[in-house]
Structure 1
Amino acid sequence: MADPSSYRPATGTIPVEPGVYKFRDATGRVVYVGKAKSLRSRLNSYFADLSALHPRTRQMVTTAACVEWTIVTTEVEALQLEYNWIKEFDPRFNVRYRDDKSYPSLAVTLNEEFPRLQVMRGPKKSGVRYFGPYAHAWAIRETLDLLLRVFPARTCSNGVFKRAGQIGRPCLLGYIGKCSAPCVGKVSADEHRQIVNDFCEFMSGRTDSMIRRLERQMTEASEGLEFERAARLRDDLGALRRSMEKQAVVLTDGTDADVVAFATDELSAAVQVFHVRGGRVRGQRGWVVDSTAGLNDESTVGELVEQFILQFYGQDDAVVPREVLVPELPEDAEALAELLTERRGGRVSLRVPQRGDKRSLMQTVQRNAEQAFLQYKLRRASDLTARSQALAELQEALAMPDAPLRIECFDISHVQGTNVVASMVVFEDGLARKSEYRRFTMQSSGGDTDWIAEVIRRRFTRHLQDQERQSAVTDTVTDWQAGPTEAAPPKRFAYPPNLVVVDGGAPQVAAAQAVLSELGVTDITLVGLAKRLEEVWVPDEGYPVILPRTSEALYLLQRVRDEAHRFAITFHRQKRSKSMTESELAGIAGLGPARRKALLNRFSSLKHLRSASADEIAAVAGFGPELAQRVVSALAEGEAEREPAVNMSTGEVVG
């Protein structure tokens, strides 16, 4: 624990201009990023009497070992730089909003020749247009089911679409009129895209023009004695109106706005957002503040609003509406509004609704935030208790000086010594942190102990190199130096673990310990978890540590080990599939490395390549009909001769 007075900069050396500052710990890792209108005033507040600081602020300044800053010219520049640094360094004491669940969206794959309508979760992809998010996936499917009779766009997967084209028959939706069946050529690509464009316009809120157009077409059909067509258009109008009824009108003036509300206590906070487009609630999302973030009693709602706006609208794919309605304006409201205006390319209003429908909607969002926050706390209470107990039990059983807040586990995967890979998974505070997972392709030959030694050496050699780099940086930057700072260290590994777990028993632990001793790493606890009896092996001990079968500590170690095994197996299968594909293609005359690579890029796997026709292969750059037919024939012969191999240790069928 550092004494803040040991690195406190002299008051006169701190500029009074606006800027952004970083606190770093002893290893050089950024632990907090902040901005200030006056750097001198803000930084001096951190070096007050420790007893007068809030516990989390006190923890931050005692964790840090130095502070740096960069001067900017405007508050908008400070906001942008602060957001970029938070994204770049991921500081542990900054507020970080994470989804309290995965919200589905209605996605339209405009990047495909025949766009598809589908339910999607997770990160957004380029070339795909999204509507929502929705609270429930069934709400999207209900909306789609109603709208497909009006906008009969494709909803099937690529595999179903391809098979329908091959056999010349559409799926059921094509027969009942809920798909225009572009797979069999009932409509052209341009006609199908126009259907999709009309659907996107309707979902974007341009409902009145669509309804007027259908009413006009219905009238024209009726006057022209086309009664069947008029009846179909009448049913389409009914479907459109029913889908609109499911999205309640909350703002009659057709407002485009995001309405944000918070529920907080002294330890955490939750936020709910209603996305209102064309006066209708089109989507809803919720987040929670990480419990390890720098939230404290002094954190006002305005500060939470500022952090949320920076993180949510700072994303590359964020949609900025004309209005952002919040419960309290942050201190830098004008700068935030200017930043949002720049991102939208048009004026954005950031304000607190005072009366009328918008005030009523804000109260509704507030009630949703409070309800979601209550459910979150009830759900996390038992989970947090169990994780804390597991970490405490591990600390006691392994005689560790501190609880293992960061655990790294390593596993090896191979089949009879081929395609050998290793995985590293990371658990922080008892939870998987998948962004820190790493995988390795083994370079040495031998057995499990040799491969464990290799992966441990590669991981901790990199750790020592990072330490040397950070030491060099710290030596060249004085505690109070201002101005441009060094580039961020590579994020291949974040920082060293408290506990290293290897999948195996005493031999694997001994191999890993020999490497750590060779590298001079002595401040990390090492154990191995043997599968058969779930024994915990520690270095230089003749007998394992036996944890009770019902202990939370053993359950956590098992979850970490199983996750490492899953991650290693997944990577191994990818490597094996690629090597099998290359080996089968290598013997085909006229198929050099460039053409093999082109085939893999086009068909992605041997399975997909075997199912491809000669015409599809001939369409790949560098292939003609003769070579394509040669590839098809060779793969068919190889499939007939191939017999499945079995991994005797796992019973897994290979190939």
Structure 2
Amino acid sequence: MDPSEYRPRTGEIPTSPGVYRFRDEDRRVIYVGKAKNLRQRLNSYFADPANLHPRTFRMVHTGASVEWTVVGTEVEALQLEWTWIKEFSPRFNVMFRDDKSYPYLAITSKDRYPRVFVTRGRRKPGITYFGPFGQAWAIRESLDLLLKVFPVRTCTKGVLQRAERSGRPCLLGYIGKCSAPCVGQVSEEEHRELVRGITDFMSGNTGTMITDRKRRMAAAAEVYDYETAARLRDEIAALEKVLAKNAVVLSMNADCDLFAVHFDDLEASVQVFHVRGGRIRGERGWIVERLEDSTPASLAADYLRQAYGEADPQAVPPEVLVDTLPEEPESLSDWLRDRRGGRRVDLRVPERGEKRALLETVRQNAEQALILHRTRRASDLTTRSEALKEIQEHLGLEEPPLRIEAIDNSHTGGQDVVGSLVVFEDGLPVKRDYRHFAVRGEAARDDTSSMYDVVSRRFTRYLESLASDEPDERFGYRPSLLLVDGGPPQVAAARRALDDLGLAQIAVAGLAKRLEEVWLPGDDFPLVLPRGSEGLYLLQRVRDESHRFAITYHRKRRGRSSTASALDSIPGLGPAKRKALLAEFGSVAGIRRAGPEELQRVKGVGPSLADTIQRELNGAQRQAGGAQPGGEESESDE
């Protein structure tokens, strides 16, 4: 839709802080955002849509209406934005998912006799959670040790009621792993005191507990109360064994959370270490789809809200350490302070020392988690088979598309047009069959002409291979499905190229980034695969890989052409001197950064030529910057 058709009048938009929602024609919320000044932010979407980032451009043109809610402060805007993102799961917002299901230690603090247990899944009100922990067996083993010191209730509601009716405790009560409040062996208050003990221990207050028990053990031994001394000795041993399971990572008795993120071309991995009392007491990770305009700063703001948006106040530490400061760090610090019950939270990037070293360890874990996630999903034969079957059913293919080829084009303002061909077999990339295409002449005049040219060239080689006595290993195979990056125009061009070559049996589909819609030739409406389906994930992965491959080749060609033009146009700079300068400084950017004295170190470059090089290169950079702000590539998406 044309954004001008639903653009609100400037005078109607307040200048207050607030949260806004873009909706599509079906009234689905497709984006939620916040702003210090609603009028300024919303006008930025409509003032000149052509200059928007490609993803934002698609969001604005997908929208059919925009609405907003005014709030009192930026912190309230932050909270409301997160609430709506959780409620509506908008298509154009960053969406996180846990990279695995983590166990927590939970305490039902509002029960008459609070229960301690290990759980997974969504948090529930009225329950205090500790963790998450890396392994379920580790926390279960720790809980078993803690019950020797704090024998609190662990049984379900049904077991508790049965024991109350019969007047007999369960097995745990008989063996000393439960204080059996159900049958009156301890009072309600005494049991709550035990619960407070385990809560304090899990909160990191461990030093005083062990010190106090050692003092009491010595006092009991002095008066020959060896039974009490032995019990305290066993409790000390149990507590120290639990502590030994948590590595000491900081020399000081620090409470902090450390966050780090690692990117690849398609996704990002976020990892957090929860450090309490100088020890790692828990860890957690998320995998997030990497949207085109996601920056480390914007992602940092999102993952902090993911981590603390529903957290209990005691789960927010006094110090949050990140590898990149989030957008609007002051507002986030205020929001974290509110989440912590009004107590200060220090949000910063550690610059040196052991905290910086530990943050690097968190970053390495994020990198390994992303590698493991991609490997598991791609290598899972069952998952890949399910994805191919879904694609077959949704696209109406005669057989599962065991070989999928994808084509994408990339260019800068119609210049340096290139195409890419990537190949997936059985749901896995076959990189030896990847190919590049340089598009020239009339074929480069627009996206559909480029698509027709690349498809024609690829499958002409296929037909030539069939007619040859020696088949071409690079182009001699026929795909079950040709996927193009784009909508109806690109799909129609690809279909026309195949039909002109007599290859009507090859199926064609397009995946448009607008709403990840699948377009088939001649259809007036797209197919919308379920967002979480394995079939859609595989199509996205194939499309994004072709996009990445095209962009990589395009940047390489553009870099070569810009290097040649930048140095070739400098008077007095011949081939030998150009070669010597590139050998010395590595690139045109390196030459541009060098001062006149550094340039004169190169043989044949005197003061006059050095000044000329500086003047010409810096002048060319200013002209290029004025002609094309940001220097971003333009991809043929739709």
Asked if 2 retains the 8 angstrom alpha-carbon contact of 1:266 and 1:297, the reply is: no
Deviations 1:15-41 (A, max 9, x none): 766543322211222211122345566
Asked if 2 retains the 8 angstrom alpha-carbon contact of 1:124 and 1:317, the reply is: no
Structure 1 unaligned blocks of 5 or more? 400-497, 500-521, 526-551, 554-655
Q: What is the aligned partner in structure 1 of residue 98 from structure 2?
A: 99
Question: Equivalent residues in 2 for 1:61-140 (5 A)?
Answer: 61-70=60-69, 74-140=73-139
Distance 1:59 1:387 in 2: 30
Deviations 1:120-142 (A, max 9, x none): 11222333222211111111111
Q: What is the aligned partner in structure 2 of residue 243 from structure 1?
A: 242
Q: What is the aligned partner in structure 2 of residue 342 from structure 1?
A: 338
Matched, 1:315 2:333: no
Distance 2:251 2:150 in 1: 26
Distance 1:107 1:355 in 2: 35
Distance 1:20 1:126 in 2: 26
Amino acid at match of 1:356: G
Q: What is the aligned partner in structure 2 of residue 593 from structure 1?
A: none
Cα 1:204–1:338, aligned 2, differ >3 Å: closer, same or farther? same
SS at match of 2:257: strand
Cα 1:215–1:82, aligned 2, differ >3 Å: closer, same or farther? same
Matched, 1:282 2:278: no
- 1:239 CA displacement: 1.4
TM-score, structure 1 length as denominator? 0.56
Amino acid at match of 1:323: E
Matched, 1:328 2:327: no
Cα 1:11–1:183, aligned 2, differ >3 Å: closer, same or farther? closer
Q: What is the aligned partner in structure 1 of residue 352 from structure 2?
A: 355
Distance 1:124 1:136 in 2: 18
SS at match of 1:270: strand
Asked if 2 retains the 8 angstrom alpha-carbon contact of 1:256 and 1:276, the reply is: yes
SS at match of 2:30: strand
Amino acid at match of 2:333: A
Question: Equivalent residues in 2 for 1:362-401 (5 A)?
Answer: 362-381=359-378, 386=385, 388-397=387-396
Q: What is the aligned partner in structure 2 of residue 153 from structure 1?
A: 152
Q: What is the aligned partner in structure 2 of residue 173 from structure 1?
A: 172
Deviations 1:468-508 (A, max 9, x none): xxxxxxxxxxxxxxxxxxxxxxxxxxxxxx99xxxxxxxxx
Cα 1:334–1:109, aligned 2, differ >3 Å: closer, same or farther? same
**Which stretch of structure 1 is more off in the superposition, 156-165 or 212-221?**
156-165
- 1:214 CA displacement: 1.2
Corresponding residue pairs, total:
404
Cα 1:18–1:111, aligned 2, differ >3 Å: closer, same or farther? closer
Matched, 1:27 2:61: no
**Which stretch of structure 1 is more off in the superposition, 149-158 or 365-374?**
149-158
Distance 1:109 1:73 in 2: 35
Distance 1:75 1:164 in 2: 52
- 1:356 CA displacement: 1.1
Q: What is the aligned partner in structure 1 of residue 189 from structure 2?
A: 190
TM-score, structure 2 length as denominator? 0.57
Deviations 1:156-178 (A, max 9, x none): 33333444455554444333332
Distance 1:44 1:146 in 2: 60
Give the number of the structure with larger relative contact order, counting CA–CA contacts within 8 Å between residues 6 or more apart.
1
SS at match of 2:149: coil
Distance 1:38 1:265 in 2: 33
- 1:88 CA displacement: 3.9
Distance 2:373 2:163 in 1: 45
Deviations 1:371-398 (A, max 9, x none): 1111111223357755653443223339
* Aligned-pair identity (%): 57
Deviations 1:260-286 (A, max 9, x none): 111222322221111222222221111
Deviations 1:385-420 (A, max 9, x none): 556534432233399xxxxxxxxxxxxxxxxxxxxx
Q: What is the aligned partner in structure 1 of residue 469 from structure 2?
A: none
**Which stretch of structure 1 is more off in the superposition, 10-19 or 138-147?**
10-19
Cα 1:51–1:387, aligned 2, differ >3 Å: closer, same or farther? farther
SS at match of 2:191: helix
Amino acid at match of 1:311: Q
Deviations 1:87-139 (A, max 9, x none): 34331211122222221111122222222221111222333222211111111
Amino acid at match of 1:357: E
Cα 1:396–1:206, aligned 2, differ >3 Å: closer, same or farther? closer
Distance 1:110 1:363 in 2: 36
Amino acid at match of 1:228: E
Deviations 1:435-471 (A, max 9, x none): xxxxxxxxxxxxxxxxxxxxxxxxxxxxxxxxxxxxx
Amino acid at match of 1:240: L
Deviations 1:322-379 (A, max 9, x none): 1111111123111111122222211111111111121112111111111111111122
Q: What is the aligned partner in structure 2 of residue 216 from structure 1?
A: 215
**Which stretch of structure 1 is more off in the superposition, 205-214 or 108-117?**
108-117
Deviations 1:43-80 (A, max 9, x none): 45545887765553343233212334455565334323
Cα 1:77–1:200, aligned 2, differ >3 Å: closer, same or farther? closer
SS at match of 1:159: helix
Cα 1:16–1:104, aligned 2, differ >3 Å: closer, same or farther? same
Cα 1:82–1:181, aligned 2, differ >3 Å: closer, same or farther? closer
Cα 1:58–1:161, aligned 2, differ >3 Å: closer, same or farther? same
SS at match of 2:148: coil
Cα 1:48–1:381, aligned 2, differ >3 Å: closer, same or farther? farther
**Larger Rg computed on CA atoms:** 2
- 1:305 CA displacement: 0.9
- 1:288 CA displacement: 1.7
Cα 1:386–1:19, aligned 2, differ >3 Å: closer, same or farther? farther
- 1:227 CA displacement: 1.9
Amino acid at match of 1:308: Y
- 1:210 CA displacement: 1.3
Cα 1:43–1:387, aligned 2, differ >3 Å: closer, same or farther? farther
Matched, 1:57 2:17: no
Cα 1:70–1:159, aligned 2, differ >3 Å: closer, same or farther? closer
Distance 1:9 1:158 in 2: 55
SS at match of 2:310: coil
Amino acid at match of 2:278: G
Amino acid at match of 2:223: G
SS at match of 1:149: helix
Asked if 1 retains the 8 angstrom alpha-carbon contact of 2:16 and 2:38, the reply is: yes
Deviations 1:180-226 (A, max 9, x none): 23344332333222222222222222212211221122112211112
Which residue among 288, 293, 299 is the counterpart of 2:294? 299
**Superposition RMSD on alpha carbons, in Å?**
3.4
Asked if 2 retains the 8 angstrom alpha-carbon contact of 1:255 and 1:276, the reply is: yes
Q: What is the aligned partner in structure 2 of residue 435 from structure 1?
A: none
Cα 1:316–1:201, aligned 2, differ >3 Å: closer, same or farther? closer
SS at match of 1:148: helix
Deviations 1:577-625 (A, max 9, x none): xxxxxxxxxxxxxxxxxxxxxxxxxxxxxxxxxxxxxxxxxxxxxxxxx
Asked if 1 retains the 8 angstrom alpha-carbon contact of 2:259 and 2:321, the reply is: yes
SS at match of 2:117: strand
Matched, 1:229 2:228: yes
Amino acid at match of 2:327: E
Distance 1:112 1:41 in 2: 50
Asked if 1 retains the 8 angstrom alpha-carbon contact of 2:21 and 2:67, the reply is: yes
Distance 1:209 1:376 in 2: 41
